[in-house]
Amino acid sequence: MADLSERFARYVAHQWPDASDIRVEGLSRIHGGASRETYRLRLKLRRDGVAEERPLILRRDPSGSLIETERATEYNAYRAFQGTAVPVPEPLWLEEDEQWLDRPFFVMEEITGCESSPQTLLTTPPYQEHIERMGEQKWRILGALNKADPGELGLADLMPAVKPEECWQRELLKWEEMIDEDEMTPQPIGRAAIRWLRRHPPPPPQKISVVHADFRTGNFLADGEGNIRAILDWEMAHLGNAIEDLAWSISRIWCWARDDRPGGLLPRDRAIALWEEASGLRADPEALHWWELLANLKALAIWISGGNEYATGSNHDTILGFTGWWLTNSQNRAILEIMGHLT
Amino acid sequence: MKPDVDVTLQLIAASLMTEIAPKISDDYIQRNSMLTAMLLQSAAEEWDRAAARRVEENRTLRRLFAEVAPEIGDPELRERLDAASGEEEESLRISDLNRSNDGLRTLLIQLHAHVEGIDTEGARRIEAAIWRELRVSTERRALSLAPF
C-alpha cells in the first residue's frame, strides 16, 4: 500500500503542479468492488498557501473481474449527472496511461458517513429504521435517471447509439455471448431462457434512456437518516430501454430481506408505481416480464463469468469464487420462477 | 480418529469466522476471510452429497432419455438419446461424474430445443418432464447459505 500511496501522490503532483506537500494517508482497499479494485484514501496538500484535505476514492482496473467494463463509461456518467436529481460523487480524474499505477484508474470524491452494504442497511440501526424512506428515494431516483435526456446530459455522443427496436437484441446477445465464452458446464435453464427471450421479443421502449444497468440495493450510499447520497457503480451504463433498469432493480436475486420486497425495501407494486411517477414512463407488463427474465439471465451470465475468472483467470479475488457458489443455483431458480416452472 | 473432510472444513470455517477474522484490522482482508469461511461451509455441505447427487441426476437423465427417445422423430437425435440412455458410470470420481453430467445436460438442451419446436401433445409432455427435471436439478444443488 505504501508504494501505491507514493505513486498516487506523484500522479497528483503531475495533475496539480501548483500543489505542494502532497501526502496520501490511510489508503486501504474497500471490499466488494468486484469489477474494479476500489481504495479509500485521504489526500493532503497545500495550494496557494492553503492546506487542503480531501477524502477520495480510487478505482483501478483489476486484472480480471466479474464483468468486462469500460472505466470511461462510469467516469462520464458521474460527470453527466453532477448537479441533477440523481446524486453522484464528483469525479476528479480518469487516467488511461498505465505508467502511473500499472493499470488504468479513475478518482472521485469519497462521500463520507454513508453505508452501501445491503446487510448493514437492512439490519443495522440507524439505517434499518429508514427502510421505507430509502426505498421511496431509490425508485424515484431511478425514475429521474431514466427520465433524463441523454442528449442534454452529453451522454448521447459518449455511449453507443441504439435504435428502439434493437434494444432487446443487443442486450440479449451481449449476455448470451458471455455465457457462450465463460460457461464451464452446460446451462440448460439459461439456454431455455435465451430461446424464450428470442421467440418473444418485447415491445420497443417509449424512448431511448440512459440505463444504469446495475441499479440495486448495494449500489447506493445512504446516510444515517436514510438519505440516499450517491448512486454508484455505473460501469455497465448504456443507452437503451428504461424498463431494463426497473426490471433489474426489482429482480428476485436482490430481495436481500429474503421476502418478496425488491431490494429488501418496498413492496413490488409500490416500487413500480414510484418509478412510473418519477420517470413519466409506463411499466408495460409484457415488456417488464421480458426484461425481468433478461435481468435474471444477465445476472446468471455475470456469476458464470466471475466463477470462470476465479477458476481459470488471473483474478482470484474471493468474491468471484463466492458469488459463483452462492448465487448461480439461486439465479437458475429465479429464472424458473419467472418462467413459471418453479412449482 | 481422523475427522471427515466436511467436519474439517466446517471447523476451519468456524475458526476463521469467530477467532481469526475478528482480529484482522484490515477491513478488506477481514471481509475476504469471512467470505472464505462461507465458501468453506458451502464446500463442506457439497462434499458429503457430491457423488450422490451427480449419480442421481445422471440416472434420472438417462431414464428420461430412454422414455422419450421412441417419440423423437429426428433419427440423429433419437440415436444419441438411445446411446446416452444405455451408458453407465465407469467411475465414481467427481471429475468423471461431472464429465458424464456435462454430456447428458448438453443432450438435454438439444432435446429441449427440439421439442419446443414441435406442436404436439407428446412434445408438450416431454417438455413438461424436462422442466420438472430442471426444477429438481436446482433442488439437488441448493445450498443452505443461498438466498433463494
What is the total count of domains within chain A?
Answer: 1
| Residue B113 Cα, gap to closest chain A Cα (Å) | 8
B138 shares contact with chain A (CB less than 8 Å):
yes
On the question of pLDDT at B24 being above 50, the answer is yes
In B, which residues are within 8 Å of A30 by CB distance?
27-28
Cβ-defined contact of B109 to A258 (cutoff 8 Å): no
Confidence of residue A66 (pLDDT cuts 50, 70, 90): very low
Average pLDDT, chain A: 94
Q: Is the pLDDT of residue A268 over 60?
A: yes
In a domain, A137, yes or no: no
Report pLDDT for A36: 80
Query: A290 has which bridge partners?
Result: none
Q: For residue B51, give the nearest of B84, B10, B95, B90 by alpha carbon.
A: B95
Per-residue 3-state assignment (H helix, E strand, C coil) for chain A: CHHHHHHHHHHHHHHCCCCEEEEEEEEEEECCCCCCEEEEEEEEEEECCEEEEEEEEEEECCCCCCCCCCHHHHHHHHHHCCCCCCCCCCEEEEECCCCCCCCCEEEEECCCCCECCHHHHHHCCCHHHHHHHHHHHHHHHHHHHHHCCHHHHCCCCCCCCCCHHHHHHHHHHHHHHHHHHHCCCCCHHHHHHHHHHHHCCCCCCCCCEEECCCCCCCCEEECCCCCEEEECCCCCCEEECHHHHHHHHCCHHHCCCCCCCHHHCCCHHHHHHHHHHHHCCCCCHHHHHHHHHHHHHHHHHHHHHHHHHHHHCCCCCHHHHHHHHHHHHHHHHHHHHHCCCCC
C-alpha cell at position A259 = 421476502
B96–chain A nearest CA distance, Å: 13
> Cell for B117?
419446436
pLDDT in tens, A156-190: 999 999 999 999 999 999 999 999 999 999 999 99
Q: How many CA atoms lie within 13 A of A332 on its CB side?
A: 25
Instruction: Spell out the residues 6+ positions from residue A77 whose beta carbon is closer than 8 angstroms to its own.
Output: A88, A155, A210, A212, A234, A237
CB spacing of A28 vs B106 below 8 angstroms: no
What integer is the mean pLDDT of B38-64? 97
Shortest Cα distance, chain B CAs vs residue A196, angstroms: 10
Q: What is the pLDDT of residues B72-122, one digit of tens each?
A: 999 999 999 999 999 999 999 999 999 999 999 999 999 999 999 999 999
CA distance A103 to A138: 33
Query: pLDDT at position A12, please?
Result: 97
- pTM for this prediction: 0.94
CB interface of B with A, residues 95-134, below 8 Å: 98, 101-102, 105-106, 108-109, 112-113, 116, 130-131, 134
Mean pLDDT of A253-271: 90
pLDDT exceeds 70 at position A33:
no
Instruction: Indicate if the pLDDT at residue A64 is higher than 60.
Output: no
| Cα(A294)–Cα(A244) distance, integer angstroms | 8
A101: containing domain: 2-109
ipTM of the complex: 0.96
Chain A contacts of B35, Cβ < 8 Å? 318-319, 322
Cα–Cα nearest to B137, from A196, A307, A188:
A188
The answer as to whether A30 is a domain residue is yes
Does residue A82 belong to any structural domain of this protein? yes
Residue type, A250: I
Q: What is the mean pLDDT of residues A252-276?
A: 92
pLDDT per residue as tens digits for the range A89-137: 999 999 999 999 999 999 999 999 999 999 999 999 999 999 999 999 9
**Record: contact B27-A31, CB cut-off 8 A:** yes
Q: How far is B145 from chain A (nearest CA, A)?
A: 7
Position B21: which residue type?
Answer: A
Q: What is the CATH number of the domain that holds A84?
A: 3.30.200.20
Asked whether the beta carbons of residue A327 and residue B146 sit closer than 8 angstroms, the reply is yes
Closest CA to A306 of A186, A213, A182, A172: A182
Q: What is the mean pLDDT of chain B?
A: 96
Pair A321, A310: CB distance under 8 Å: yes
- Three-state secondary-structure class, residue B93: coil
3-state secondary structure of B24: coil
Closest CA to A91 of A74, A114, A104: A74
| Domain-embedded: residue A205 | no
Pairwise CB contact (< 8 Å): B109 & A28: no
Q: What angle do CA B107, B111, B117 make, to 5 degrees?
A: 150
Neighbour-count burial of A114, counting CB atoms closer than 10 A to its CB (0-12 exposed, 13-18 middle, 19+ buried):
middle
How many angstroms away from the CA of B1 is the closest CA of chain A? 30
pLDDT tens sequence across A276-295: 999 999 999 999 999 999 99
